[in-house]
Amino acid sequence: MNEPPLRPWVACRKTGDVVAGHCACKAGLGEVCSHVAATLFFLLSVVNQKKDKSCTSEPCEWNGPSGRKAQYREAWTIDFTSSATKKKRLDHGGESAKSPGPSALSRKLQSIPAPTEDDRKELLAALSQTGTKCAILSLSAGHAEQFVPASASANLPEVLTMLYNQEAAKMDHPSLMQHCEDVFRSLSVSS
């Protein structure tokens, strides 16, 4: 611990050929010590790391899909039944657990007719009566008014930038002063 730290060094070409190496230790005087070798191994690892891409520069691979190809289908055709329920069906002689067709639930969903405009209005009215602000109501005519922010519906005066008049820039001084007095009289200040 009391000895001064060693200072090994290595001279290399760009090709990686070692020209010389030296260390201040006893074996380093012959230029063959383990400190020079450790320095060379360190340099090799640095070069290899620069050649390789880090795991953060690549897309995530360890959580990727398994070897099977995903089968894309419409949601109503997918059987979301758990494997345990599928096994029970098989054990009791029910429909096949691996049947490629739609499940009983999705067949039932297929038989439900599309909602009419009256059904849609009735649903929106029922949602509005709950008192909660459903996002679908903000996009629906007749219900969107309750989503207008208070600042937009408040009776606020016009901002001062609205007083700018392009024609006033061309007026002479007395006309401009008269115009300013007219604008000032037209303003009203509220609480």
> Could you identify the residue written with the tokens 């098989």?
90
| Average pLDDT in the chain | 79
pLDDT of residue 164: 84
Task: Assign residue 68 a region (left: φ > 0; alpha: ψ between -120 and 50; beta: otherwise).
Answer: beta
Model confidence pLDDT, tens digit, residues 150-190: 766 667 767 778 888 888 889 999 999 999 899 888 887 77
Specify which residues 10 forms β-bridges with: 21
Beta strands in 13-114 (DSSP E): 18-22
pLDDT per position as a tens digit, 40-73: 889 888 888 777 766 677 776 666 666 667 777 7
Is residue 171 exposed (0-12), middle (13-18) or buried (19+ Cβ within 10 Å)?
A: middle
The two structure tokens encoding residue 164 = 């700018």
**What letter represents residue 16's amino acid?**
G
| Residue type at 11 in one-letter notation | A
Cα–Cα dist 27/35, whole Å: 9
- β-pairing, 9-12 vs 18-22, is antiparallel
Using one digit for the tens of pLDDT, what is the confidence trace for 101-126?
555 666 666 677 888 999 989 999 99
- pTM of the entire structure? 0.30
d(CA 81, CA 96): 12
19's CB contacts (< 8 A; 6+ apart) are 11, 12, 13
Is the pLDDT confidence value at 144 over 60?
A: yes
Name the 3-class secondary structure at 39: helix
